Structure 1
Amino acid sequence: MNDASDPVPLRRDPQFALLASARIISVLGNGFARVALAFAVLELPGASPGRLSLVLSCQALPQLAFILVGGVIADRMSRVRLMALADWVGMLAYGVLAVMVLTGRAPLPAMCVVAAVAGTATALFAPAMDGVLPLLVSGKRLQQANALLRVGTNTALLLGLALSGVTVALVGAGWALALNAVSFAVSAVLVLRLRVAGRPPKASSGWADLREGWLEFSSRQWLWVVVAQCAVVVAALNATVGVLGPLVADEGPGGARAWSVIVAAQALGTLAGAGLAARVRVRRPVLVAVLATFPAAVPIALLAGSAPVWLIAVAMFCAGIASDVVAVLWVTTIQREIPEESLSRVSSYDWFGSLAFAPFGLLVAGPAADSVGAGPALAACAVLIVLASAAALLSPAVRGLRAPESAEVRTGKMSPSSGAAEQAG
């Protein structure tokens, strides 16, 4: 592990470079899959928006259902091996999807099952990924490492989304899905080259580990308060981006083109935000993260008021910057404050709580738009974001938690130099 005084930049640290390369390649493939899977389903005989919704739901629900299981497993075994296993499962799932689409034998029940397998792989990967970074870089460089990873993955996702439409048009959705399967395989090979500290066997049961993770999570007021805030914010954002925003754009003069400009502005903002987050130094990271959530309400309010597209795009760009500052400060704080041996379980509770209402936001957005109109429904989303964020500020722990002076992890984290290092693979 390199100390902050190490002259070697993170970009040239071989272990960090392996992890970053694995994530960038995997996320690039996922960018292809987002578009390819939708077109693959819509090209099936008897295709309909309802069928697409069913397949995507089968992929999303296991991510929520098994995320806690993923956290327990990640704290009981080598996180590197679990990440590689999840990548292999993802490769298998998307490989099967590609074969079904390319051969024209893609019954809807089979696609739903394979999509669920792909979602399960994500649930296993995410908590392990959150827990492995502090084993590779020093606490002083965690924020910079998280920010650099965000820059790389955000860029990869943008590139994947941009190229996916061309790929689907030129060679078909099946081959685009196959590219995603290959990206998972490459990621697994790179991940298995990471060297992390050995983990002693645990005598406790999985249920006991889950309860222990809950105690770690619930005993920190700043943690569960912000996760509760995020549950509301994510639901409102899902409703906006998934349903209400496109509805308003479709009714306006710009249509889909105007909406694509708005979404692209947000994506560009996340790139700028990740770069800013690598440099910003704050004494109260959780307080700053909560305050940086308020800008998310601005473009939603502008959409509700039928503001000019350029103004909404500018607001979306600023909200994108703020969202990645929030993300980097938040994950770095968790990695610094939570004991390493419980980190993946606490991360899984964070994921679970933050995404708990996300499907509900999508579910009620359509009926709400039909009942009161898309504009009032968007205004309600903006109000919910403001109220949830203001409520989080009432917590003394949110306002008072300070970053350690040295920015080092203070909770006895293992490092490759403290104990026998293992070659995962």
Structure 2
Amino acid sequence: MAGSFMSPVALAFGVLERTNSAAWLSAVTSAALVPMLAATLLGGGIADRYRRDTVLRLTSFGAGLTQAGVAVLLLTHQHPALLLPFSALNGVFQGLTTPTLRGILSNLAVGRGLQQASSLLASVSNLARILGPTAAGLLTATVGGGWAIAADATSFLLAAACFSRISLPDLLPRAKDSPTMLADMREGWTYFRSQPWIWSVTLAFAVFNATNMGFWQILGPVIANDTIGAKGWGLVLSARGVGALLASVVLVKLTLMRRPMRPALSSMALAALPLMLLGVGANTFWLAAASFLAGVVAEFFTVVWETVNNTNIPERLLSRVGAHDEFWSFASLPIGQLSAPVLAATFGTAPVALTGAGVAAAAMLLASLVPSFRRIEINHDDV
């Protein structure tokens, strides 16, 4: 994860250093995202059908090899078009990884241990979120983004080695008349669409990711390149990690309320604040402060969402339902990334950033009003 959080900063400024073009940055970023989304649904079916520890070992190894290819291209100053196939392959491996990670916690913890496991995993992730962007900013400013991507490649290979230390029980042999993978995936979709409390959150994040994250990832580095620079941008991203780390550490010990979804969604509206400040030209300090707050509320929601999912969705469906959640939440992200430079050129960077932040915040507040959240609870009796 440390390498993964280095990658966006290193790749963004590496591409801008080579091309000075927001359009190329948008293309390279989307080249990884679109295949990742396409592979996510398949990843859900695979993760519920095969041993999740084995899947994680293979996908981490593949991601390490593809990121190594990206690093070589950046270090040898090749044309950015050559980055596209490597980015696409890396996206495929990460798409297969995400639903597997979401499902494996239920194999390792039960009861309140699920919340603790989610919080502990988030703490490690957030520590990496703090160190990764800052290290990437320093490396990019001194020796270039290629070396940060090389560190990312190494991290995936090390992760594959760590996953080899996990040994889940073998799955029972599948009967000859057992459903096909396509039927399994269809079952996951049927469950997903039958649960308003799941798809309403997914829909809200589809809007949020397009108008907030998509604009932030493209307009942020472009604005920072002319204002606070790579170091400042790395610090802003790291501040979000500090806030998220603080929240995740507290949530290891703090017991969540029985019905946490409405507070979690309402607080997510604050996660749009950094994009709003970016639009009004705030300096590094205020951007970092807003990013810190965004990290706190986003981590609170993440732990709530993971815990609610693991306690309210059948274990055998977790990865498939999680895959649909990931897919439909992020399917809109490339739209935001690709439209950001076009909209900014037409209407101006500041209006686009401010409008995107407002729409994203509204989506979270509206989702919190869904009636079915009244019956979605966390059962603390299973401690």
Category of TM-score, reference length = shorter chain: 0.7 to 0.9
The amino acid of 2:52's aligned partner reads: R
Secondary structure of the residue that 2:213 maps to in structure 1? helix
Partner in structure 1 of residue 41 of structure 2: 68
CA distance in 2, matches of 1:40, 1:247: 12
Partner in structure 2 of residue 149 of structure 1: 121
CA distance in 1, matches of 2:146, 2:225: 29
| Deviation of 1:158 (Å) | 2.4
CA contact (8 A) 2:25 2:218 kept: no
CA contact (8 A) 1:239 1:362 kept: yes
Is 1:379 paired with 2:354?
yes
Is 1:392 paired with 2:367?
yes
- 1:215 is matched with which residue: 190, 204, 225? 190
Partner in structure 2 of residue 128 of structure 1: 100
Partner in structure 2 of residue 276 of structure 1: 250
- 2:60 is matched with which residue: 78, 87, 90? 87
The amino acid of 2:114's aligned partner reads: L
CA contact (8 A) 1:277 1:324 kept: no
**Structure 2 unaligned residues grouped into runs of 5+:** none
Within a 5 Å distance, the mapping from 1:149-298 to structure 2 comes to 149-167=121-139, 173-202=145-174, 203-245=178-220, 262-278=236-252, 279-298=254-273
Is 1:359 paired with 2:334?
yes
| Deviation of 1:239 (Å) | 4.0
Distance 1:359 1:281, change over 3 A: same
Mark the structure with the bigger radius of gyration: 1
Within a 5 Å distance, the mapping from 1:294-373 to structure 2 comes to 294-304=269-279, 310-373=285-348
The amino acid of 1:67's aligned partner reads: T
Partner in structure 2 of residue 113 of structure 1: 85
CA distance in 1, matches of 2:291, 2:168: 39
CA distance in 2, matches of 1:305, 1:37: 25
Partner in structure 2 of residue 403 of structure 1: 378
Distance 1:320 1:308, change over 3 A: same
The amino acid of 1:85's aligned partner reads: L
The root-mean-square deviation of aligned C-alpha atoms, in Å, is: 3.0
User: TM-score, normalized by length of structure 1?
Assistant: 0.79
Partner in structure 2 of residue 30 of structure 1: 4
Report % sequence identity: 34
Secondary structure of the residue that 1:200 maps to in structure 2? coil
CA distance in 2, matches of 1:394, 1:344: 26
Partner in structure 2 of residue 14 of structure 1: none
| Deviation of 1:232 (Å) | 0.9
The amino acid of 2:363's aligned partner reads: A
CA contact (8 A) 1:228 1:354 kept: yes
CA distance in 2, matches of 1:41, 1:247: 11
User: TM-score, normalized by length of structure 2?
Assistant: 0.87
| Structure with more helix by fraction | 2
**Structure 1 unaligned residues grouped into runs of 5+:** 1-26, 409-425
Deviation string 1:312-370 (CA, Å, 9 cap, x unpaired) is: 54333222211110011101211121111111111100101111211112223333333
CA contact (8 A) 1:247 1:374 kept: no
Partner in structure 2 of residue 415 of structure 1: none
Partner in structure 2 of residue 77 of structure 1: 50
Distance 1:312 1:156, change over 3 A: closer
Deviation string 1:37-59 (CA, Å, 9 cap, x unpaired) is: 44655676x78554443332221
Q: Mean alpha-carbon deviation: is it higher for 399-408 or for 335-344?
A: 399-408
Secondary structure of the residue that 1:75 maps to in structure 2? helix
The amino acid of 1:276's aligned partner reads: V
